[in-house]
Amino acid sequence: MSKEIREHWDSRTAFILAAIGSAVGLGNIWRFPYIVYKYGGGAFIIPFLVALLTAGIPLLILEFSLGHKTNKAAPGAFAFFNTKLKWIGWAAVFIGMGIVTYYTAIMSWSMIYFVKSFSLGWGTGTENFFFNNVLQLSESPSHIGYIVPVIFIGIILTWIWIYFSIIKGAKSVGKVVYITVICPWIILLILIVRGVTLPGAMNGLAYLFTPNFTALMDPEVWINAYSQVFFSISIGFGIMIAYGSFLPKKADIVNSAFIIGLADAATSLLASVAIFSALGHLALKKGADVANVVTSGPGLAFVTYPEIINLFPIGAPILGALFFAMLLTFGIDSAFSLVEAFSAAAVEKWNISRAKMNGIIGIIGIILGIIFTTQSGLYWLDIVDHYLAVYGLILIGIFECLAVGYIIKPEVIRNYANEQSDFPIGKWWDFMIKFFVPIVLIAIMIWNIWAEIANPYGGYSRSALLVGIGALVISFALGILLSINKKRTV
Ligand code: PHE
């Protein structure tokens, strides 16, 4: 630990907003609605809420408590209990760093769309515009092509934005999040009001909220619910450990975890109301069924939503700009939380100034991000995302639970969390951490691997997928390497 006194949030509100800022991101606005759409609407909501309560919030309590008790970022927090566990923390923050390298590319596309929206510059062929004009997509991952200059400029701008947001660690993050959390929420409310007052909106909402109980029998729905919860509340990357470590002595951990988890879920549901009501309108205009209007799931934000914006009777450019401003502001605090988790750990290890560390991270981030700005960028993004955000996160989740469940012992963490909290958690929490969550995660893992042996992910070639697997292996290898070199502190 460096000589400086550990930084702290200015207030509990700053902490809650920063954690919500990290949690709420593209995962809520873009990923959640398209997964709900894919699984037939209402069917997905029940598994999602079950996953939130049985795994999401218990792990949030675990990560906050680890950080708060030890006053350290992820590697130090694990090392506090047992130096042999340190690698889990390092692997988590390295995976997080991998994720930012492509998260900034999505931010860059959002910037391009933000600018284009003032003139509705995507025209009527929104699909063509996204793939051919913006991404200039090549035919396969191995056709790398050239760097698309605007996308590259966009990632540089995003990194500059990240750099300044975290320049003074928790102090500046605590200020920035007042804007980057509250503004997009206001925009979301505007888009909801606009959405639900469009003709046809009710059909979209009916699709969103009609439960389909037979879908509950499909394991794939449950698997996606658990992975979505993990990704959406940002657990498994060491972020919530670092954020918990910046909490002052008196902090209501259990209560905060519930507030943050529920706020994140509420945001996903509200974003879906905005999007599905607009999809209802799109279906009406096209004379199609709501179930058939979205052609490519991941294209929801960049292909389908611009198409909807074109249809807004009044103020289309402004509403378009608001939508992309919302994506950017929801996204930026998720991006910088990943960097902050790494940087907090690195500053503890190397005793180097935070500003220097963030500068180095930014430059490495830009260099590694170049691949995502090329014509094949979308493919690589999809592949790396799949291995880091799905497998990486699940693996870290499993290791975290096993470490706390069997080595650190859950009652140590539970007692600590309870001392800090107004309402206590009971023994059920130990059960979740020791058995339930790891079993669910291991089952998901096996199911995924099994399915992918038969059908390689996304139909990519096996050699392209190896790159994604490589990114995952390198994150773990670096994590292990950093933990065994020299026997010094963190
Ligand atoms: N939780 C963020 C979202 O929903 C994504 C994210 C994951 C951010 C992991 C940081 C870490 O978009």
pLDDT at 39: 82
Q: Cα(203) to centroid of ligand 1, in Å?
A: 30
What are the structural domains of the chain? 3-483 (1.20.1740.10)
Query: Would you state the pLDDT for residue 489?
Result: 52
What pLDDT, on a 0 to 100 scale, did the predictor assign at position 2? Answer: 41
What's the rounded mean pLDDT across residues 24-30?
Answer: 90
In the chain, the amino acid numbered 465 is L
Tell me which residues have their CB closer than 6 angstroms to ligand 1: 22-23, 25-28, 231-232, 234, 237, 239, 334, 337-338
- Tell how many helices (H) and how many strands (E) occur in the chain: 23, 0
Query: Tens digit of pLDDT for each residue in 261-309?
Result: 999 999 999 999 999 999 999 999 999 888 888 766 667 889 989 999 9
pLDDT score at 1: 41
For 432-463, what is each residue's pLDDT tens digit? 999 999 999 999 889 889 988 989 998 899 99
Render the burial of 214-223: b for 16+ CB within 10 Å, e for the rest.
ebeeeeebbb
Confidence of residue 488 (pLDDT cuts 50, 70, 90): low
Backbone angles phi and psi of 248, in degrees to 5: -70, 170
CB proximity list for 334: less than 8 A, separation 6 or greater: 21, 22, 23, 24, 25, 26, 27, 103, 234
Atom of ligand 1 nearest to the CA of 96: 11
Over residues 156-192, the pLDDT tens digits come to 999 999 999 988 888 888 888 888 899 999 999 999 9
Alpha helices by DSSP H, 72-120: 74-81, 86-117
Ligand 1 atom index nearest CA of 331 = 12
312, 194 Cβ separation under 8 angstroms: yes
Tell me the Ramachandran region of residue 314: left when phi exceeds 0, alpha when psi lies from -120 to 50, beta otherwise: beta
Cβ-based neighbours of 458, under 8 Å, separated by 6 or more: 382, 383, 386
Mean pLDDT of the chain: 91
Checking if the pLDDT of 403 tops 60, the result is yes
Is 69 buried (19+), middle (13-18) or exposed (0-12) by CB count in 10 A? Answer: buried
Q: Which of 20, 22, 330 to mutate to test the pocket of ligand 1 (most atoms within 8 A of CB)?
A: 22
Residue 340 predicted with pLDDT over 80: yes
Which residues, other chains included, contact 328 with Cβ-Cβ below 8 Å and sequence gap of 6+? Answer: 107, 110, 111, 114
For ligand 1, the distance from its centroid to the CA atom of residue 48, given in whole angstroms, is 16
Task: State pLDDT tens for residues 79-88.
Answer: 999 999 999 9
More reliable by pLDDT, 393 or 373: 373
d(CA 443, CA 11): 40
Query: Looking at residue 5, what is its pLDDT?
Result: 55
Residues 190-226: pLDDT tens digits? 999 999 999 999 999 999 988 778 888 888 888 889 8
CA diameter of the chain? 68
Of 15, 363, 13, 382, nearest to 162 by C-alpha is 363
Task: Give distance in angstroms: CA of 99 to centre of ligand 1.
Answer: 9
Question: Region 1-17: what's the mean pLDDT?
Answer: 72
Confidence category of residue 490, pLDDT binned at 50, 70, 90: low
pLDDT digits (tens, 9 = 90+) for 108-146: 999 999 999 999 999 999 999 999 999 999 999 999 999
Please state the length of the chain.
Answer: 490
d(C-alpha 18, C-alpha 172), whole Å? 10
pLDDT at 475: 95
**Ligand 1 centroid from CA 235, angstroms:** 8
Cα→Cα distances 215→121, 446, 452, 478, Å: 40, 21, 22, 41
Q: How far is the CA of 23 from the centre of ligand 1 (A)?
A: 5
**In angstroms, rounded to a whole number, what is the distance separating the alpha carbons of residues 31 and 339?**
21
